[in-house]
Amino acid sequence: MDGVIVKTTLQLITPGILFVFGLAFICAWLIEKKRNYLLLLAGACVLFALGAMSQILSLPPGAGPNAIVSGALYTSAVIAAVEGILVRSGKGLGPVIDLAILAGFVLLIAYFFYIDRRLIARVYVQNFGYGLLMLIAASRLTALARGPYVDRVLFWILLLFGLHFFPRTLLTVGFSAPIDRTAFGNSIFWQALQLSLAVLGVGLALAILAAAVSDMIDDLRRERDLDLLTGILNRRGFQERVSAHLRKYGPSRTALALCDIDNFKSINDTLGHDAGDDVLGEVGRMLRNASRKRDIVGRLGGEEFAVFLPDTDEQEAVDYAERLRIAIEQNSFAVLGGARQVTASFGVGALRPGDSWPSLYKRVDGRLYEAKRTGRNRTISHSLSSVSADAPVAGSALQEL
């Protein structure tokens, strides 16, 4: 009798660990309630633990009801885990498909107990089915394998977890299941199943929890690096993103454009700071919309903005700045009610061989000052300058300095 108690207690260790992980996911969700996938993952841990306890403790009693209840709990747990992992990446299957999968599993388990009574069939339906669900999830998340380290770990553990169901089942149960409950509990299949769940299940739970914590940290970094008024990066965020880009890709074909709203102080003084904030927000929106995905856009402070332009030569950077300058000049800025026109000045430059980021920034900042000093509403680069249409130039808006 004591041996049975010890064996049962040892079998309950894995469900107990999963309960702990379920609580951890709930605590994580309480910290960041917008991440609903954490509730799915908490539910997966609790459901799987309940399924294991149902099977270990024979609750409900009776082979048929126990097989269906424990099978439904196990299946719900796997579906919740797969759905939670997919929802985190915006690729969830949806409740209709989830319920259809659950119903299919339960019907098959009931069929192979009450109609075609074959334990081996139930073993293969559940194990191969769960493995297939995880492999489907992994196939939808292949992008994670090229993402941050924590995402790569999550992907490979999920893939390994899904794959292991097939050889483990074939090698440990073969094509003939144990004839009774006692033999099944003592079988290599059951022992291998408990070991794999303890190792891979806990590993997957840890990987998902680490990914959730990583998501929260990324959100905190984004909030720290974001200028809330304009929706673009603040000075710190801009500098960090530029430094990271230069470390990864180097300075090849890289340009910088600095922008300063002309006479911004007079907007604040005459129309109020709310109007000034609206102008800043609108300019920030225009910069975001005009920039490519790989460009880095930031507000350096006050009314000064910066755009880091990878894979861009100087002429292309000048063209980009000119389009923005003209767009700002022609924008109506509804908040101003037509009371005044808003213009901006630009300084532009590109990295030269052997150049550094600080020297580029200093040079472009000098060109921005030059644009402000020589009349505003113009773009100046190290070899080219562009002035507004009403300035005293002939022909093209671009001219040699």
Q: Which residues fall within 8 angstroms of residue 384, CB to CB, at 6 or more apart?
A: 314, 315, 318, 348, 398, 399, 400, 401
d(CA 8, CA 52): 11
CA–CA gap between residue 50 and residue 15 (Å, rounded)? 7
Per-residue confidence (pLDDT) for residue 101, from 0 to 100: 97
Domains parsed from the chain with CATH numbers: 2-225 (1.20.1070), 228-400 (3.30.70.270)
Give dist(CA 341, CA 92) in Å, integer. Answer: 48
End-to-end Cα spacing for the chain? 96
Q: At residue 360, what is the residue type?
A: L
3-state secondary structure of 61: coil
Distances (CA, A) of 135 to 138, 194, 344: 5, 20, 54
> 238 with 345: CB under 8 angstroms?
no
> The tokens of 382 are what?
């190290």
Averaged pLDDT, groups of 10, the chain, 401 residues long: 63 83 93 91 94 87 91 96 95 96 96 91 93 96 93 95 92 71 69 79 89 88 88 93 88 90 88 88 91 93 95 92 92 72 93 86 94 92 53 32 27
The per-residue b/e assignment along 148-172, b for 16 or more CB within 10 angstroms, e otherwise, is: eebbebbbebbbebbebbeebbeeb
The Cα–Cα gap between 309 and 351 comes to 11
The pLDDT score that the predictor gives to residue 252 is 78
Catalytic residues: 303
Instruction: Say what the pLDDT of residue 30 is.
Output: 93
Q: Report CA-CA distances (Å) from 392 to 201, 329, 375.
A: 73, 18, 11
DSSP assignments along 164-205, one per residue = HHHHHHHHHHTT---SSHHHHHTSHHHHHHHHHIIIIIHHHH
- Tell me if 19 sits within 8 A of 49, measured CB to CB: yes
Q: Name the residue type at position 62.
A: G
Q: How many CB atoms lie within 10 A of CB 266?
A: 11
Pairing mode, strands 378-380 and 344-350 = parallel
CA distance 1 to 169: 30
Distance CA 348, CA 380 (A): 6
Q: Please give the biggest Cα pair distance in the chain.
A: 103
